[in-house]
Amino acid sequence: MRTARVIGGGPAGLMAAEVLARAGVAITVHERMPSPGRKFLLAGHGGLNLTHSEDRDRFVTRYGASTDRIAPMVEGFGPDDLREWAADLGEPTFVGTSGRVFPQALRATPLFRAWLTRLAELGVQIERRTTWTGWAGNGSLLITDEDGETREVSSDVTVFALGGASWPHLGADGTWVGQFAERGIDVTPLEAANVGVRVAWSEVFANRFAGTPLKNVSVTVAGGEPRRGEIMLTASGVEGGLIYARGASIRAALATTGRCVLEVDLRPELSLEDVARRLGKRRPKDSASNWLRRAIGLDPASAGLLREASGGTLPHDAAAIAALIKAVPIEVTGTMPIDRAISTAGGIAWSEVDEHLMLRRLPGTFVAGEMLDWEAPTGGYLLQASFSMGVVAAQGALAWLADDAAKGSLSP
């Protein structure tokens, strides 16, 4: 019987294990934590957005610079396949109003429990609290148990699915980068993705408005296209899907010019002229807040943001304040740390793997999931790609096993 080891028990690794086990390969999964799938289960706290229902052409553009590499994988095992897989495990899915796809239970636990049962039935062995710690001189894998004992293990093929470096206490902490780099494998530095940004708010503003959303605004980053949605003010900055989706542009602006300014349009549905015209009718006794609320419906947090951006005192002139409302500048001082990020940018360079996700420098060794160099916004694209890559790596491993068996280089 052919053997495989999967290192990392997240969505990518366990999907690879399922595909390999179905093909009759004996699988051992090594998971460093006391239980697998911890990040997947945490994702379930937010409703578990498994994938997205938008059409294929739009879907694949979400992978930005990695679209060409990821598109064929999402074609091989796509949103419909993932939904069918979940339904097969007893957890049918539904499409939310935003087009995002969730399990009906809106939780990850029932789905994950059913999956572990299926994997056990397929004979997949999950060795918990066992950490891959590198390669021995002869190329076999070094596995360290919780007592610190290290043993050498080997198998016909290996799939690494070690994840990125966000929320490290859930298991994926990016320590693999050094071990892979030592083998000459090119790894793009890991960075926080889908993460909030830091802004040096005044204490008064932070105390009053942290936790307040600004709804129906439009945000422009570094001269790009404006995007409409909601942002959340936090004690030390801003977060939310709109910010996450522009993460790559924000990081690029910070890296190249050392600064990044977000421009927030607080009334995107009104033109500058309309805003100025409405503000022209101020009653003599109106406070600034009342004036802004009455004239254009600005809430206290938006009015506070205007004050914050103009050094504490609002301009009196309607034209000047209208211009500010249409483009409030927010100076970003950095991104929040990777340990609070939803996902990780950077990872093993695409040039290091073939179309089956096999490492060119280590034939018979495959990689999948967030440990590769790609990123995507929230919306189900992260889990979809992780699952799709698990399938691709496993199919690649099967093809490689079949090829090697044909050449007679593997033991029967």
CB 142, CB 135: distance < 8 Å: yes
* Cα distances (angstroms) measured from residue 205 to each of 145, 198, 303, 387, 391: 49, 14, 11, 42, 48
- Give yes or no for residue 60 binding ligand FAD (CB under 6 A): no
Does 132 engage in binding with ligand FAD (CB under 6 A)?
yes
Range 279-298, binding ligand FAD (CB under 6 A): none
Q: Which is nearer to ligand FAD, 193 or 264 (CB)?
A: 193
Strand 237-239: give its sheet, edge to edge: 328-332, 260-265, 213-221, 227-234, 237-239, 197-198, 334-335
Binder among 159, 298, 325, 342 for ligand FAD (CB under 6 A): 342
Contact 161, 304 (CB under 8 A): no
Q: Are 233 and 214 in contact (CB under 8 A)?
A: yes
**One symbol per residue from 10 to 39: x for binding ligand FAD (CB under 6 A), - otherwise; what is it?**
xxxx----------------xxxx--x-xx
Give buried/exposed letters for 42-81 (b at 16+ CB in 10 A, else e): ebbeeebbbbbbbeeeebbebbeebeebbbebbeebbbeb
As beta bridge partners, residue 213 has 232
Q: How far is the CB of 47 from ligand FAD (least distance, A)?
A: 7
Our finding on whether 40 is near ligand FAD (CB under 6 A) is yes
What angle, rounded to 10 degrees, do the helices at 381-407 and 67-76 form?
80
For position 106 contacting ligand FAD by CB under 6 A, the verdict is no
Residue among 2 and 39 whose Cβ is closer to ligand FAD: 39
Q: Which of residues 315-334 bind ligand FAD (CB under 6 A)?
A: none
Question: Rounded CA gap, 60 and 69, in Å?
Answer: 10
Near ligand FAD by CB under 6 A: residue from 6, 17, 41, 43? 43
Q: 41, 74, 159, 162: which one contacts ligand FAD (CB under 6 A)?
A: 162
Q: What is d(CA 367, CA 105) in angstroms, rounded to the nearest whole number?
A: 31
Using the rule CB under 6 A, is 48 a contact of ligand FAD?
A: yes
d(CA 140, CA 154): 5
Q: Report the nearest approach of ligand FAD to the CB of residue 154 (Å).
A: 16
Our finding on whether 9 is near ligand FAD (CB under 6 A) is yes
| Total of residues contacting ligand FAD (CB under 6 A) | 38
Positions touching ligand FAD (CB under 6 A) are 7-13, 30-33, 36, 38-40, 42-43, 46, 48-49, 131-132, 161-163, 166-167, 171-172, 176, 342-343, 369-370, 380, 382-383, 386
